[in-house]
Structure 1
Amino acid sequence: MAVPQFGQAEVALDEFEAFDAAAPEGFHVELIDGRVLVSPAPDGDHDEDVAAIGLQILAREPTLHIYQGRGLTVPAYRAGRARVDGAVAPLGYFRGQPSWSDPAGVLMVVEVTSGREQDAEVDRVDKRDAYAQAGLPVYLLVDRHRGEAVVHWDPEGGVYRHSATSAFGAQLALPEPFGFDLDTSELA
């Protein structure tokens, strides 16, 4: 399947939907800032990192759940579609929603870097900016290439106004509505 590479011409929403429908099993297709991004399915460590975060959230707030691989519309800047590694929302929020869901009830998006170091820039910059533009309250990035977790919060004017970083093994203070220190010792 021929897929536009990062940095090439913008892709319209209908063109993206055709790419998404034709993607081979095991690949994630996203539309971020007008560009189609294709990545292989995550490895086991990737999934375990998301699950570890989800368990810590659930232990503190049993009404919340982390949904892995959820498709969200991120329309603030351009028509966008992100297949997030984790979407933290109230249990039942996605019931009845289409495969590309409204992110309005999502409290935090979690992404875990994978693949090559150069691919991580999409999570560090492009997705961060798209999530801020969509008004997602908190963005947590598990950066396996740098060995750190970064939390961004308080989006205003299309950018996150605050961020904090912790090396793996240290505590990372999550902002409200979470308000607890995330243990990053299980992240790899």
Structure 2
Amino acid sequence: MARNPERRTALLDAAIDVLAAEGARGLTFRAVDARAGVPAGTSSNYFADRDDLLTQAGSRIHARLVPAPETVDAAMRPEPNRALVTELMKWLVRRITAERTGYLALLELRLEATRRPALQAELTRVVRAELDENVRFHLASGLPGDADTVLVLYLAMTGVLLEHFTLPGVLSEEELDRIVRTVVDAIVPAA
């Protein structure tokens, strides 16, 4: 396997672009090489097989979706209350919107994971670890609610984001903002 980490990252970013544009069926080494602008056969030097490429692309997507610690610190300056949770969920929508390609690729990977046990195991591990970290962060930050609050909020926001990205005309920007507030108000206790 090739050891150039910058090249590997560029290939994974190209794979994410291919997943978002063409779906999992369109993800081939040849398509990744073409999207990355590298000679044919390059990606096969970095990934053992298509399953390896899919799994590493999933890990890369999650890395791209995680906000920088300093932006999290800035977002957490206000008092930890339901209004802050609402702002954090609006921030989540803005961040995911800015990383639309990655989110669409993640949706493709999730569908592909229903047919590939190794990919499903890896995505499950990563998503579960992130969910556990979100619960830990929520509780440690003094935000209102408990672990179940975080879980239900996660599931509700996943549905909102799925709707927003797969059928963008269903919710206007104003409706999206209102739905985020409604979700938080329905799930997160006031105090």
Considering Cα pairs closer than 8 Å and 6+ residues apart, tell me whether 1 or 2 has the greater RCO. 2
* Rg comparison, structure with higher value: 2
As a proportion of its length, which structure holds more helix? 2
Greater strand content: 1
